[in-house]
Amino acid sequence: MRAFHHRHSTSPITFHNEKPGDVVSWLTRSTAVSTLPLPNNAASTTDEVVGYSELRREWAQAFYLLNLHGSGTLSRYQTGALWCHSSLTLGSPRFHCRPILFFHEGRLIINFGRAALLGSASHPRPANLPQLTSLQLEALDAIEAIAKATQLEIETQAGDIHLINNLAILHRRQGFVDGSSSIEKRHLVRMRLQETDKNWDVMSDGDFPLWN
């Protein structure tokens, strides 16, 4: 049986960012019959700044693993592997190693997705890339736990438009059940936007080593 990308399934997706784009937006064309465990067609987002103090105070080890400025402390925790992200694009795969959480130009920035770090049924992680250590997996679980504890739930309806800062806000998808008619099926139109006037300066892929 062919394995499809998790985006094309009805399964839940953990908190994440989109890789490209300053702003992520989506237009809800129609909603599913139900989503669980949140109310019908609820969207979940969380601001990483809200959970920053919690992460640093209660999950110090995870904080140093995720943060660029923790590089001098990494050996203390015997982390081993870097954060090597796959592009999950068609054709020849590309990979780059970069932190998940870092400060740049005075701003706290977060950007990651589990599939790019762990692989998936449709895009297995190549054997030539370092596998995440148990401490790195715990760090990802720490992000998920804090995000769930501080999440904002928004019940969506057809016609709603959402725009979020992709460099500061995590989002996730609930599992859902589609109905039989077209108006009972989850249908979102997503766009990744570039802010030209007030965009945040970020480090480019050229600032991090590439894997091919």
pLDDT one-digit tens code per residue, 87-144: 655 555 667 777 888 777 888 888 888 988 898 877 788 887 778 888 889 889 988 9
Residue 27: pLDDT band with limits 50, 70, 90: very high
Rounded to an integer, the average pLDDT of 162-180 is: 86
pLDDT at 29: 93
**Distance in Å from the first CA to the final CA of the chain:** 28
Residue 76 tokens read as: 């203390």
Cβ-based burial of 203 (10 A; exposed 0-12, middle 13-18, buried ≥19): middle
pLDDT of residue 78: 36
Residue 199 has pLDDT above 50, yes or no: yes
Take residue 188 and report the two structure tokens written for it: 């979102």
Angle in degrees, CA 92, 109, 27, rounded to 5: 70
Taking all residues of the chain, what is their mean pLDDT, rounded to a whole number?
Answer: 75
Which contacts qualify for 54-63: CB closer than 8 Å, 24 or more apart? 54/146, 54/149, 54/150, 55/142, 55/143, 55/146, 59/139, 59/142, 59/146, 61/135, 61/138, 61/139, 62/138, 62/139, 62/142, 62/143, 63/101
Enumerate the domain spans of the chain.
Answer: 8-50+158-194, 51-149
> What is the model's pTM?
0.77
* pLDDT over 80 at 35, yes or no: no
User: What is the percentage of the chain residues whose pLDDT exceeds 70?
Assistant: 73
The dihedral through the CA atoms of 106, 164, 52, 117 has a sign that is negative
Split at pLDDT 50, 70, 90, the class of 36 is low
For residue range 183-198, list pLDDT tens digits in order.
888 888 999 998 788 8
Q: Compute the distance between CA of residue 91 and CA of residue 175 in angstroms, rounded to an integer.
A: 29
Return d(Cα 87, Cα 51) in angstroms, integer: 27
